[in-house]
Amino acid sequence: MRLHSLDLQNIRIHDSFWSKHVDLVRNVIIPYQWEAMNDRIPDAESSHCLENFRIAAGRAQGKFYGAVFQDTDVAKWLEAVGFSLACYPDEELEKLADGAIDLIAEAQQEDGYINTYFTVEEPDGRWTNLREGHELYTAGHLMEAAVAYYQGTGKRKFLDCMCRFADLLCETFGIEDGKIHGYPGHEEVEIGLIKLGCVTGRGKYLDLAKYFIDARGVGENYFLKEMSRPGYKRIFPELMNYQPEYSQSHLPVRQQTTAEGHAVRAVYLYCAMADLAEAYQDEELLRACETLWENMTQRRMYITGGIGSSGILERFTTDYDLPNGFNYSESCASIGLALFGLRMNQITRDAKYMDVVERALYNTVLAGVALDGRSFFYVNPLEVWPPSCMEGTSRQHVKPVRQKWFGVACCPPNIARTLASLGQYIYAVDEEKKALYVNLFVSNESDISLGDTETHVKLETEFPMKNYVSLRADHVPACGMEIYLRVPEYAQDYTVCVDGKAYAVMPEQGYVRVSVGQDCEICVHFEAPARFLYANPEVRADAGKVAIMRGPLVYCLEEADNGQNLAGICVDTEKGLEEVPSALFGDTVLLKASGQRIVGHHAGEGLYGTKRPEMENVELTAVPYPYWGNRGEGEMLVWIRERL
**Least distance in angstroms from the C-beta of 270 to its own copies:** 18
**Least distance in angstroms from the C-beta of 612 to its own copies:** 6
**Least distance in angstroms from the C-beta of 245 to its own copies:** 8
Q: Please tell me the distance from the alpha carbon of residue 483 to that of residue 43, in angstroms, as a whole number.
A: 50
The residue annotated as part of the active site, out of 190, 314, 383, 635, is 314
Q: Is the bond leading into 477 cis (omega within 30 degrees of zero)? A: no
In eight-state DSSP terms, residue 262 is B
Torsion over CA: 363, 367, 372, 378 (sign): negative
Q: Please tell me the distance from the alpha carbon of residue 554 to that of residue 639, in angstroms, as a whole number.
A: 10
Q: By C-beta, is 111 or 538 nearer to its own copies?
A: 538
Task: Tell how strand 481-486 and strand 435-438 pair up.
Answer: parallel
Strands (E), 443-519: 444-450, 453-461, 468-474, 481-486, 492-498, 501-502, 511-516
- Beginning with the edge strand found earlier in the chain, give each strand of the sheet holding 492-498 in spatial order: 11-13, 444-450, 453-461, 468-474, 520-527, 492-498, 501-502
**Least distance in angstroms from the C-beta of 37 to its own copies:** 25
- Report the length, in residues, of the chain: 644
Q: Tell me if 107 sits within 8 A of 37, measured CB to CB.
A: no
Q: By C-beta, is 532 or 585 nearer to its own copies?
A: 532
Q: By C-beta, is 498 or 598 nearer to its own copies?
A: 598
**Least distance in angstroms from the C-beta of 34 to its own copies:** 30
Q: Please tell me the distance from the alpha carbon of residue 43 to that of residue 311, in angstroms, as a whole number.
A: 25
Q: Tell me if 550 sits within 8 A of 466, measured CB to CB.
A: no
Q: By C-beta, is 211 or 223 nearer to its own copies?
A: 223
Q: Please tell me the distance from the alpha carbon of residue 319 to that of residue 260, in angstroms, as a whole number.
A: 10
Q: By C-beta, is 99 or 613 nearer to its own copies?
A: 613
Q: By C-beta, is 298 or 518 nearer to its own copies?
A: 298
Q: Please tell me the distance from the alpha carbon of residue 451 to that of residue 49, in angstroms, as a whole number.
A: 44
**Least distance in angstroms from the C-beta of 283 to its own copies:** 24
Q: By C-beta, is 255 or 396 nearer to its own copies?
A: 396
Q: Tell me if 585 sits within 8 A of 571, measured CB to CB.
A: no
Any catalytic annotation for residue 314? yes
Task: Tell how strand 511-516 and strand 481-486 pair up.
Answer: antiparallel
Q: Tell me if 450 sits within 8 A of 477, measured CB to CB.
A: yes
φ, ψ of residue 107 in degrees (nearest 5): -80, -10
**Least distance in angstroms from the C-beta of 572 to its own copies:** 12
The residue annotated as part of the active site, out of 161, 289, 389, 410, is 410
Q: Which amino acid is at 266?
A: A
Q: By C-beta, is 396 or 449 nearer to its own copies?
A: 396
Three-class SS state of 421: coil
> SS3 letters for 356-411?
HHHHHHHHHHHHCECCCCCCECCCCCCEECHHHCCCCCCCCCCCCCCECCCCCCCH
Any catalytic annotation for residue 410? yes
Q: By C-beta, is 179 or 601 nearer to its own copies?
A: 601
Q: Please tell me the distance from the alpha carbon of residue 138 to that of residue 71, in angstroms, as a whole number.
A: 7
Active-site positions? 314, 410
